[in-house]
Homo-oligomer: A and B are copies of this chain.
Amino acid sequence: MIEYRNLRVALLGAGNVGAQVASMLLEHGTELAERAGAGLELVGIAVRDPRAKRHAELPSELFTTDAEQLIAGADIVIELMGGLEPARSHILHALNSGADVITGNKALLATHGAELFETAEQVGAQLYYEAAVAGAIPIIRPLRESLAGDHITRIMGIVNGTTNFILDRMSRLGETQEQALAVATELGYAEADPTADVDGFDAAQKAAILAGLAFHTNVPLESVYREGIRGITLEQVESAARAGHVLKLLAICERIEAADGSEGVSARVYPALIPDSHPLAAVHGAKNAVFIEADAAGDLMFYGAGAGGRETASAVLGDVVSAARRHVIGGPGIAESHGATVTVLPIDQIVTRYSVRLRVNDRPGVLATVATVFAEHGVSVETVEQTVAHPDAELGDVLADAVPGESGSTATLVIGTHRAAEAALAATVTALAANDAVRAVDSVLRVEGI
């Protein structure tokens, strides 16, 4: 029997993930010790409310409300309490006491990441956060280590399981967003207040973390452009399917060139169309996936469960083993370089493809008018599809200028563009909305992954 040095592990928070981590630490102690090269002794679980000892399977003597005292005596601190405070203060305390810290707190990292990483570097401690992005999927470590010799140009991630579940049901079962959300809530995939998921706040936090890591810089949460899926209709999803596309809420982190030619990065979240054949299109249900484009490695994708107590606990324990190995070895660990001075560019500087849906007067010359508006703003049209407003209307009616529609009748045009600058597209849309031939701009969606 090998005698291992014992490392003292403190757990902050006993929610879904925390309780799983505690159980697994207690149950698989011997196995973990072998992997880590050190014993992992769970010395306490800090909870805010002492009545929170609801986990009958966990020894009640482990629970405490005195987080600070627990931290003071720990080699490794696992923060799974969520929220900004007191999580931030606890982590700073732990790092300053020389403990390594594992956190799954994406809100905190997206908001105070710069401060936390700086503190860790200054004191020579390490901050691990595999569980903060895409749950069980090992994505932080590959980005930080495996691709350390490469140059990442773009990340596209399905990083919110709730919205993927909703969009997938709309796409595959023809449900409306309300119906799909109701199912998600019933199954526990969505919170009672789904704002954080549906409006893209959760995905934006993950985009900030991923962009910072991939581009070795600090990407403030407020610089992440964000659109959620709230406005997405079944009609849009079905129209996408007819065009060979699928609608996904994507977190995109990209190196781009600013208008003045300088290098910048973009971090943004929005519902986007991707081709059916793209690997991300096959990510169904509440699964997550992160697609990475790197100069040398080419395209990579990491797929798996984005949430769930046991799944996320697996990522936390992987970090615990890494932290323990580092403690046994000693030394400063991997310093994350977030020091690159790269400008985070606003959304109007990005360049991508667009799918614009317009309701137009169904009369001769309309397509020419619309096409002229695009051309005047330097946006090149790739495809035009007429979605039939009344069943006997045909694309030919508009295209050929041959059969005038009745006065007052409308047609719907779906226009796919080549790559264009967001600013140019926005100006095009403004001009379209002001044009007499156009009744309404129904929808503007970005097209990614082509």
State the A residues within 8 Å of B (CB).
Answer: 20, 24, 28, 31-32, 34-37, 130, 136-138, 141-142, 145-151, 216, 277, 279, 282, 284, 294-305, 308, 310-311, 313-322, 325, 329-335, 337
Q: Residues of B contacting A301 with CB < 8 Å?
A: 301-304
- Across the two chains, which residue of chain B brings its CB closest to A332? B329
Question: In the complex, are the beta carbons of B331 and A150 less than 8 A apart?
Answer: no
- Across the two chains, which residue of chain B brings its CB closest to A136? B297
Task: Indicate how many identical chains form the complex.
Answer: 2
Known: A24-B296, A303-B301, A329-B332. A321 touches B145 (CB 8 A): yes
Question: In the complex, are the beta carbons of A322 and B145 less than 8 A apart?
Answer: yes
Instruction: Tell me the complex Cα distance, A68–B298, Å.
Output: 34
Question: In the complex, are the beta carbons of B313 and A296 less than 8 A apart?
Answer: yes
- Across the two chains, which residue of chain B brings its CB closest to A138? B146
- Across the two chains, which residue of chain B brings its CB closest to A291? B303
Question: In the complex, are the beta carbons of A314 and B331 less than 8 A apart?
Answer: no
- Across the two chains, which residue of chain B brings its CB closest to A31? B151
Question: In the complex, are the beta carbons of B298 and A304 less than 8 A apart?
Answer: yes
Instruction: Tell me the complex Cα distance, A331–B330, Å.
Output: 7
Interface centre among A136, A216, A296, A303 (most CB of B within 10 A): A296
Which listed residue, B34, B298, B320, touches A337 by the CB 8 Å rule? B34
Q: Residues of B contacting A137 with CB < 8 Å?
A: 300
Question: In the complex, are the beta carbons of B150 and A314 less than 8 A apart?
Answer: yes
Apart from A24-B296, A145-B322, A297-B304, 10 more pairs, CB < 8 Å: A34-B337, A136-B300, A146-B315, A149-B317, A149-B318, A282-B282, A295-B314, A299-B303, A301-B304, A329-B329
- Across the two chains, which residue of chain B brings its CB closest to A336? B35
Instruction: Tell me the complex Cα distance, A305–B147, Å.
Output: 14
Q: Residues of B contacting A147 with CB < 8 Å?
A: 138, 314, 318
Instruction: Tell me the complex Cα distance, A318–B319, Å.
Output: 19
Q: Residues of B contacting A142 with CB < 8 Å?
A: 138, 141-142
Question: In the complex, are the beta carbons of A149 and B303 less than 8 A apart?
Answer: no
Instruction: Tell me the complex Cα distance, A145–B322, Å.
Output: 7
Question: In the complex, are the beta carbons of B136 and A317 less than 8 A apart?
Answer: no
Known: A294-B314, A329-B331. A321 touches B130 (CB 8 A): no
Q: Residues of B contacting A294 with CB < 8 Å?
A: 136, 314
Question: In the complex, are the beta carbons of A303 and B279 less than 8 A apart?
Answer: yes
Known: A35-B148, A146-B130. A296 touches B282 (CB 8 A): no
